[in-house]
A and B are shown apart, each in its own frame.
Chain A
Amino acid sequence: MYELEATADLLLMNGQSKAAIKQRSDEPAHEAVLIRAVLEGDRDQYGRLYSLYAPLVHGILLARVPRSEAEDLVQDIFLHALRKLDTLRDLNAFGPWIGMIARNRAMDFHRKSHETVEVTEDLKSGDATETKAAEILEIIRSLPDAYRETLVLRLVEGMTGPEIATRTGLTPASVRVNLHRGMKLLRGKLGFEEGL
């Protein structure tokens, strides 16, 4: 019943959400201008792209690799993307493109079998809040791919649903479903009925 209502909400998205999406839809056009400038040799504009998309790349990586590795990988991915920027056909699709690079890089990381280091390093931090956060992140990582990435972007990086949709290239409906179902699974795993 609850899911049916959520689906109805998806189909009849309220005006506020639509406005937010419309506002965000201008973003790619702005990015295309930045990318063109970078291709023409203005490297400073790449810094602006970096600050716009670093949270997305960081979120995608955080859903897959240890936090300590994510920081360095973000830098590597952006440098790699700069080298390959000429291969980007649709200048409005920088977000989905760099997101895919990040996912591939995360897969490469696991191929090199660093997984044993991952858990221990994440749980090592002395601060109790950070330790708890790392534990919850581990639970999120245990969720299916589609849910964990969307949840990390929403809960860790603080992005809204429409933002996630625009930057990842997913449809808003898909993002909404992923958020809703992922949150339901997370609630179940965390036992929110009894409190944190």
Chain B
Amino acid sequence: MKKSMRNVGDDYLWDQTGEPDPEIQELEQLLGTLRCQPRPLEIPAALQPGRPRFVLSDFKPRLAIAATIVLIVLGAGLWLKLERRDTPGVAQTETKPSASDNSNRAAATVTEDVADEVPNAEKDRLEEPVTPPFKHINKTHRNRLHQTSVAVNANSKRTLDPKTQELAPNELKEAQAGKAQLMLALRVASAKLNLALKKAQGTNNGNLIHNQHKVG
């Protein structure tokens, strides 16, 4: 009997069905005085309900695909840019004759300065128009310093290419100018050496005769 009463009480405690348990009813009455009596909710006018947020996990596969595509496009773009950087380097040397012209003038003045020191016999030969492109050579050298390693490799490829071994007209000019400058320097040096030798021989001969004289 007691057991069945307990079961009835359990049902009432669970869902308020069945025979009420007097103890629970008493507690309900007492504690019911503390029950929530909700005031109307005062929502401030400035308060806005949040918008549904962007949930990253929902878009993960799409984001991964998009990121891969972007990476491929960026990689291809970078590769193309590096490829293009090689070709303008060659084009620049071919399409800048004005720079070499300017350098010719400067080279000419240098030649005149040097020629003042050379004996008259040599002058006529040296007064040929030589065009050593100092500035041009310096400029291309400076450009090479700023080139990336890829560009350097491309240059090395270019030298290996048998087609490019035939020099372009500008490059031929440069080479000739360089050769002329070298020859000029050699001539000046040999002239100076000859002069010095002659002077030295002149003094030495006198001394020898003098010495011979003394000995004799």
List A residues at the B interface (Cβ < 8 Å): 2, 5-6, 9, 14, 16-17, 20, 38-39, 41, 43, 46-47, 50-51, 54-55, 58-59, 62, 67, 71, 74-75, 78-79, 82-87, 89, 127, 129-130, 132-134, 136-137, 152, 154-158, 160-162, 176, 179-180, 183, 186-187, 192, 196
Contacts and interface: CB of A to CB of B under 8 A. Distances in A.
Given A79-B47, A133-B31, A176-B14, 18 more contacts: A2-B3, A5-B3, A9-B7, A20-B15, A46-B43, A51-B38, A58-B38, A74-B38, A86-B53, A87-B53, A129-B30, A133-B33, A136-B30, A152-B31, A155-B31, A162-B14, A187-B23, A196-B26
Contacts of B10: 6, 9, 180
Contacts, number: 120
Contacts of B49: 38-39, 41, 43, 46, 82-83, 85-86
A137 to B, nearest CB: 6
Given A54-B36, A86-B52, A78 B41 contact: yes
Given A133-B33, A134-B34, A83 B50 contact: yes
B208 interface: no
Nearest to A21: B15
A155 B15 contact: no
Contacts of B47: 79, 82-83
A190 B35 CA distance: 20
A55 B24 CA distance: 19
